[in-house]
Amino acid sequence: MPLHPQAQAMVDAMARMPVVPLDQLSVEQAREQFARTRTPFLASPQEVGALSDLAIPGPGGRLRVRAYTPKGSRRGEPLPAMVYFHGGGWVFGDLDSHDPLCRELCNLARCVIVSVDYRRAPEHRFPAAVDDSVAAVRYIAEHAADFGIDASRLAVGGDSAGGNLATVVALTLRDQGGPRLAFQVLIYPVTDFAMDAPSYTSLANGYTLTRDRMRYFSELYLRGPQDVGDWRASPLKAADLSRLPPALIMAAGHDPLVDEGKAYADRLAAAGVPVTYTCYDGVVHGFASMAGAMDAGHTAIAEAAAALKRAFGS
């Protein structure tokens, strides 16, 4: 399957940008380069009904979160909500890098989106991001009135590294007494740090995410090889995937992660969890957050929004 012309144009444009190999940059320089090379492809930010930057308690100190309320919502009406975890390999990304995606999803799903700025590696290695993500969902559920949300209609979601975190949050809350989740949206999630799926070979190079870049993230995020088999890093290795909230898993056809996303969807289905799997052929990793360059990004956000509305009964 060839690249979609829009994806090919974006890949070509990125190839023309002055980029320094990651191993020649400090982490801060690499973060700046990530932001610089992605910004031209972000969608224009939509107007929302309200936006608040807040700080909530976390295991390692205060956590920044950004709460979005949909345009046209009525004041005082508790809304369903999704807690969102941004992508970026646990090293890059922040509230701003995924702001356009969260705005669009908020408006289309007619729900509050709370985006979490979890601690990043290598300053804070695994499982710091996991601990922050779990704590954030629990705090938001316990303080639902402060966020204007209905805690009985709460979902989690994320893309790439954030999809991994959303997956692990769902597993953790199932096993540790909640809060109960209504749904999970997993956009090209990392589910196995073994990185031995066939797509890691067939799609290793030439796209927005490469095998070498995933190895870079792994080396900065994990504490060592022993973490590869920990289900909190590699949820595909979890022994039991039953009794989890229904899921939507979306993948990119030209992405080293495509096989592990499908493998996780298959395991959820085998465990009796309602799951929808959609593979967007012809596009690359990151397409949902770079919807300014690829129309498939808007389509994927609309699919996620429709799934959330069905799960919330709204």
Tokens of 24: 């020649």
52 is catalytic: no
Q: Judge contact between 296 and 4, C-beta under 8 A.
A: yes
Catalytic residue (choose from 160, 199, 234, 289): 160
Handedness of CA 259, 291, 217, 84 (dihedral sign): negative
99 is catalytic: no
Catalytic residue (choose from 117, 255, 259, 289): 255
212 is catalytic: no
Catalytic residue (choose from 131, 230, 285, 289): 285
Cα distances from 281 to residues 168, 272, 284, 287, in angstroms, run 26, 27, 9, 11
**Positions marked active-site:** 160, 255, 285
